[in-house]
Amino acid sequence: MMDSRERLLTAIANEKPDHLPAQVHNWMQYYLDTYLGGCDAFAAYERFGLDYVLYVGPRQIYAEKDLANWQRDRRDLGTDADGNRLWAETITTPDGELHHAGAYNAFTPWETEFLIKSPRDFEMFEKYAPMPVALDPAPVIAAQQRLGRRGIGPMPVMLGFNVIYFIAQALIVFRVDGLMVPAWLAVAAFGQVAVLAFPWFAAHIGKDLAGRANATINFAMFVAAFTAQYAVGLVIGLFPNTATGYDPRGYSWAIGILLVLQLLAFVWYLAASPHREFRP
């Protein structure tokens, strides 16, 4: 009999599992509290024998100076006639204030006043809305370790999407008629999947070193990206321009060289097997 991890991976590979994987999109907190005695999603999946699919993201960390430019004042407005809890929030920025409001009940929350109501609101949001400066992978690591063999960790997902990324690049290299646009879209969609390695890497080396190690990796990736871009330009420049611009053969050769380097790194990575995850 397969466990949840094996069953889901088998289905993703378009093969036949022991039975059809079954899961819910998400567990409503109201349902867990009212009908399942307040248990969490892990226990609910286990109770009904479903396959574990959980949505867990890293904790976002913001710079203090960014938060100072985005000061939030949320006020509880009490309960309306239908028993819904009402709230309103004012966000103060150096250029003015933004306002929005909403409500919630035991089932779901919703907005009653949108935050962005004018071009000026959008300008303030675009200028001052804080963006995370770092990510703490601890919640993802904790969920992965609790799931063990019952779930799919970030590394198998990353490696699987990397294969799609390589195939899309190969289509571009060989200039396959009718598939060039989908190939470029796939490259754009899956080119950032490597970020899934960061939670695994933090667990691999420990949280005390994770911040410095990730910063070092980011710097190395930054240098490598600009070096690769420069190299691509050099290769394209080796081919004479056509009447419509750069020679497509130049792109094929440049991307092909990068693809070969990526495949060599991918094979080395799989052979070294550092991606094998903790399994209790």
Is residue 55 over pLDDT 60?
A: yes
Other CB atoms within 10 A of residue 229 CB: 11
Q: Which is more confidently placed, 272 or 57? A: 57
**pLDDT bracket for residue 207 (50, 70, 90):** low
pLDDT (0 to 100) of residue 273: 59
Q: Is the pLDDT at 197 greater than 90, yes or no?
A: no
- For residue 31, what pLDDT is reported? 93
- pLDDT higher than threshold 60 for residue 78: yes
Task: Provide the pLDDT for residue 279.
Answer: 41
pLDDT at residue 2, rounded to an integer: 83
pLDDT value at position 152? 63
Query: Which is more confident, 137 or 28?
Result: 28
**Higher local confidence (pLDDT), 149 or 280:** 149
Give the pLDDT score at 280.
37
Confidence class for position 171, pLDDT limits 50, 70, 90: very high
Average of per-residue pLDDT values in the chain: 87
Residue 203: per-residue pLDDT: 62
Residue 153: which pLDDT band, with cuts at 50, 70 and 90? low
Beta carbons of 54 and 41 less than 8 angstroms apart: yes
Q: Is the pLDDT of residue 1 over 90?
A: no
For residue range 81-138, list pLDDT tens digits in order: 999 999 999 999 999 999 999 999 999 999 999 999 999 999 999 999 999 998 888 8
Question: What residues does each domain of the chain span?
Answer: 4-48, 63-131, 152-272
261 or 203, which is more confident: 261
Sign of CA dihedral 107, 29, 70, 60: negative
